[in-house]
Structure 1
Amino acid sequence: MATIEECRAALDQLSGNLARADEGVRGAAALDRSLSCHITDLDQTFTGRLDGGRIRVDALSPGPPREKAEIRLAMTGDDLVAMVAGTLNFAKAWTGGRVRLEAGFRDLLRLRTLL
């Protein structure tokens, strides 16, 4: 089982990957939205913002998200680490129910290019 430190490192790596991505991916991620990522097996939630094509983590709190972020993710720590490492395909994990992504319709349309 992935640790909370490994999950934080994976989010930092994902942020760096988005910042270094080609223009199309950076454009899709160039939203300014509140973000939460609930690590279900550890029952911890990272909260922050997707801003300028980067993920900024502001806090970590126990349990599910306390407030409804504009973009909400939920998955196990192992799945987060595997997706960022490239060994788990996000689209397959999402359609298979291993990853939950909730956002407004327009945000989902923009984020789909990241999948």
Structure 2
Amino acid sequence: MATITECREALTRLSDDLARAEGDVRGAAALDRTLSCHLTDLDTTFTGRLSDGRVEIHDTHPGPPATKAQIRLRMTGDDLIALVDGRLHFAKAWASGRVVLEAGFRDLLRLRSLL
């Protein structure tokens, strides 16, 4: 089972990957939205922002998100690491329910290029 530290490092790697992205992916990541990532197996939530093509984590707290972020992710820590490492395909994980992504309709349309 992944640790909170490993998950935080995975989110940092994801942020770095988004910052280096080009084209459609860069455009999709250019949103300025609040973000939460609830790790169900660790019962921990990372909160922050997706801004200027980077994921900025501002806080980590136990339990589900205390407030509703504009973009909300829910998955296990192992799935987060597998997604960032490229061992788990986001669209398949989302379709099977392993990863839950909730956002407004417009944001989902923009984020689809990240899938």
TM-score scaled by length of structure 2: 0.99
Structure-2 separation of matches of 1:88 and 1:28: 20
* Structure 2 equivalent of residue 101 of structure 1: 101
* Structure 1 equivalent of residue 66 of structure 2: 66
TM-score scaled by length of structure 1: 0.99
Structure-1 separation of matches of 2:107 and 2:91: 16
Structure-1 separation of matches of 2:17 and 2:46: 18
Structure-2 separation of matches of 1:62 and 1:13: 22
Structure-2 separation of matches of 1:23 and 1:66: 34
Give the 3-state SS of the residue equivalent to 1:37 in structure 2: strand
Instruction: Tell me which amino acid in the other structure corresponds to 2:49.
Output: R
> Would you identify which runs of 4 or more consecutive aligned residues in structure 1 move more than 3 Å?
none
| Superposed CA RMSD | 0.4
Structure-1 separation of matches of 2:10 and 2:23: 22
* Contiguous gaps of at least 5 residues in structure 1: none
Instruction: Tell me which amino acid in the other structure corresponds to 2:75.
Output: M
Give the 3-state SS of the residue equivalent to 2:102 in structure 1: strand
Q: Percent identity?
A: 70
Instruction: Tell me which amino acid in the other structure corresponds to 2:88.
Output: L
* Structure 2 equivalent of residue 9 of structure 1: 9
The alpha carbon displacement at 1:24 in A equals 1.8
* Matched residue count: 115
